[in-house]
Amino acid sequence: MCIFCDIIHHEIPSKVVYEDDQVLAILDIAQVTKGHTLVMPKKHVENLLECDDETAAHLIQVVKKLAVQIQARTGAAAINILNNNGELAGQTVKHLHFHIIPRYNENDAFVCEFKESEKQDLDEVLALIQ
Ligand code: 5GP
Ligand code: ZN
């Protein structure tokens, strides 16, 4: 179905960090920082928006537990938890996954920057999205 399904079914090897009946966590093949881990549901779901609540709830529990464990084991100063939904958002593998990215210093290879775009009328935005 997809490359992560192949990993889940042991058709492609991976370094398994954690596994239960619903979730698999593996080391990302391209370690942005040491300990960069991907956490995914075993069932094929394209992204978080399409995921059923029960799977999502368990997945986020595992993400949190592993983030705590990885920070403790690596001694990282901080952790980014990232989930890309859709190509424009940077999703390259269309199987839901969270990135756990330990952060060691300002020169880490991971950069996440929030810039302000044009000014928005916040009441209008609220009316739009609520
Ligand atoms: P995305 O850009 O979809 O959020 O992240 C996909 C991630 O999957 C990338 O960080 C990429 O390095 C990782 N990845 C792609 N193919 C493989 C693979 O075959 N094995 C592992 N372990 N990671 C992979
Ligand atoms: Zn899949």
The model's pTM: 0.97
Using the atom order of ligand 1, give the atom closest to the CA of residue 32.
Answer: 10
**Of 45, 21, 27, nearest in space to 93 by CA:** 45
Q: How far is the CA of 44 from the centre of ligand 2 (A)?
A: 4
List the chain pLDDT tens, one digit each, 130 residues: 899 999 999 999 999 999 999 999 999 999 999 999 999 999 999 999 999 999 999 999 999 999 999 999 999 999 999 999 999 999 999 999 999 999 999 999 999 899 999 999 999 999 999 9
User: Which protein residues have their CB within 5 A of the ion that is ligand 2?
Assistant: 1-2, 4-5, 44, 95
Pocket of ligand 1 (CB under 6 A): 3, 12, 14, 26-30, 38, 84, 90-93
59 and 23 in contact (C-beta within 8 Å)? yes
